[in-house]
Structure 1
Amino acid sequence: MRNSKITWAVIAGVVIAVLAGVGVAIAVNRGSGEPAAAPTGPATPSGSAPVLENTPRPSASAAPSPGADITGPLDLLLVGVDTRVTIPDWQTHSDAIMLLHVEPGLKSGYLYSLPRDLRVRIPAFKKSGFAGGTHKITEAMAYGSRVPGKKTRNIPNGYELLARSVSAYTGVRTIQAGAILNFGGLDKLVDKLGGIDLTIDQKVKSKHRQPNGKPRKLSGHDYVGPQAVYLPGKRHLTGWQAIDYARQRYGLPNGDYDRQRHQRQLVKAILGKALAENLSDPARLQTLITALGRTLVTVGGRRPVEYAYALRDLRPAGITMVQLDGSGVGSGSGYLGEQLNAEARGFLKAVATGKIAAYLKAHPKLVNKG
C-alpha cells in the first residue's frame, strides 16, 4: 500500500533525525560498494533524488513490493553528526551513535547506543590518509571524512570509517544500512505532528536554549544567559523542546549515558505519535513530508523505501531499549574516553551471535523501561 510505504519512509527519517536534528541526510547501504562523495554544503543533492519525494506507486501487477525480500535480521547504524558549520575548521564528529537490531521476521528489535567517547581501535583508512589507532569512536567520522590536501569534508567516507569501527568493536559483521544527519529541522516535523508527549525522568537544564526557545549567547567556548529547564513528569514537548531535550548531557548525573537514554525514549515517543496520525490522508502525509524537506538521500544500493516497506510491521511496542553502561578511562589525571562494563560487552556479543533474548532474560537491568 503506497501510504504505508511512505509513512515508514517518513518514520525511518524520524528515527534517524531524532539523534541530532534533520539537516542533510545520507542513507548508506553497506552492501552496495563504495558510497559516493557527499555535497560539502547544505545541499541539494545531484547524484540521487530524495526518495521521500519520489516514491513510485506500486503497479497493479502481482510483482512483489520493493523490499519484500528483506526478511532479517537487520543491523542499522543511526548517526547524529555535529558539523558546527559556524566554527571554522571544526572537525565532523558523531555526537550520537545508535544501533537498531531487528530480529528475523522484522516485527521486533533492540535499540541501543554506544557512548560517543567510547575508546576503540579505529582502523587505517586509505581514502582519508588516516593511519589508524586507538581513539574515541566519535572521532572516526572526523578521521574518515578528511579529504587529503583540501578543507572540504567527505561525510559518506566518514560514515564508512565509523561503520567499520563500530563493526570491529561490536562484532556485528554486517551493517546493512544506516544514515547520518546534522543539526536542522526536526523541530518542524515534531510541530507538524502537534508535538509529542514524553515522561521526563530527571531535571534537565539546556546548555543551548533560553526558556523562550531562542539560542543562548555563545561567549568564548561556553553559553551564557537564562536556560530552558525540563522538569520530571509527563510533558508535552514542542519541536524545539524535543530536539533540545535530546541533545543535553552536561549537568546530568551520568552525562552522555543519561542523554543516550533520553534519545531512545524520544525515538519511541515520535514513532508512536507518527503512527497515531491519520497518514491515509494524502494532504496530511504531504505536510509531514514537506516538513522533512530534502533530507533523506540515498547513495547507491537499496533505497530507504525498501527498508521502510520491510519494517512496516515493526511498532514502538516491539522495540526494546537497552542501556549499555560504562566508565571513564585515563592515564594519570588525563581523561582518554569511556569503556563499556562487562555486562554491556556481553550484550554486544549476544547481538553478534543472535542470543539477545536469552541474554537480556539473564540481565534484565539492561532493559530501559522508560
Structure 2
Amino acid sequence: MTDLDTFILGLPKAELHLHIEGSLEPEQMFAFAQRNGVPIPYATVEDVRAAYAFSNLQDFLDIYYAGADVLRTQQDFHDLAVAYFDRAAADGVVHAEIMFDPQTHTDRGIPFAVVIEGLLSAMADAQARHGISSALILSFLRHLSEAEAFETLAAADPWLDRIAAVGLDSSEVGHPPEKFARVFAAAAAKGLRLVAHAGEEGPPAYVYEALDLLRVDRIDHGNRSLEDDALVGRLAQEGMTLTVCPLSNLKLCVVDDLADHPIDRMLDLGLRATINSDDPAYFGGYVADNYRAVAAARDLDKAQLATLARNSFTGSFLPEQTIVAHLARLDAYLATH
C-alpha cells in the first residue's frame, strides 16, 4: 500500500451520495434470492457479476431494479446496510447520508415499514460497532409521477423524525426537476432538507431548476454545470455542495476517462465538490476506491484530498457543532500526516 493509499484510508470523511440498493454485491443478490426463494436468471455468482456490465444509465437501472427484487424482508435491508457500513468503516467514513428508494419496494408489495425499519436497525448497529453516524434520504423516482411521490411522502410520515431529507433519482433525461416542485415544497414544509440529482446526464438547465424550483440544499452529481460559466459562479458563490461520484461517472460514460474527470477543476473554480461512491457494487468501488482512482488519474495531492474530505463535512446535514468537531478531527489527522 502506498503512502497516499494509507493517507486516504485514514482520512476522516463523510459520504453524502450513496444509494443503499446500489451496494447490493453479486454475492448478496445470489444469497438473498436463495434465502427468499426469488427466481433470478443467473446460475452462479459469477453470472450475476457478469450481468453488472452496462454502458449507460438506463442499462444500469434495468439491472439495478432487477437486483432490488431479491430484497424482501426487514432482515434483508438490515443485512444489506450492515455490509455497506462495514465497508465504509474500513474506508475511513465517520458519517454517511444514505439514499433509499422506497417506491422500488412498495411498488412490488414490500411495505414501507419493512424497508425503513431494516435500515434504521443497521444504522444503529453502525453507530454501536463503528461509531459511524448516519442519516436517511428518501429518494423519489423521477420516472414515476408527482402523485406517486406525494403518496410516498405520506407513507413516510410516521418516520419523518428519522429521515433527514428527500431526494430525486432514477432516469434524469426527460424528467426535469420542475415535475416535482410541489412535492419538494411539501417536504420542505415538513422540515426535511432537499437534494436532487441534476446535471449528470441532464443539461445545466436541470441544475437551474433544482436550485430555483426545488430550492435544493445540495446537488447530486452536477458535472454538467461546468458547461455554464454563470451557473458555476452561482454555485460557488452560494457554497452549494456537489456530491460527485467519479467511478460512477466513468461507468455511465459521463466522462470517457478518469484522466478527463473535472474534480480538480471543480475545486479550482471554488466549487464545494465532494467524493462519493453512488452505487458502489455496480460501479466498481466504495468511497476510498473513488478517492484513490481520481487521485491517481488527476494526480491530486494530499491538500486537495483533504479539501474534498472537508467539503464532505461542511456539505453534510449534521448539526453545526458536530461538523466543527469532525473538522477538528480532520485537522488533527492532517497535522500528523
**TM-score, structure 2 length as denominator?**
0.27
- Compare CA radii of gyration and give the structure with the larger one: 1
Relative contact order: is structure 1 or structure 2 higher (C-alpha 8 Å, sep ≥ 6)? Answer: 1
The structure richer in helix per residue is 2
The structure richer in strand per residue is 1
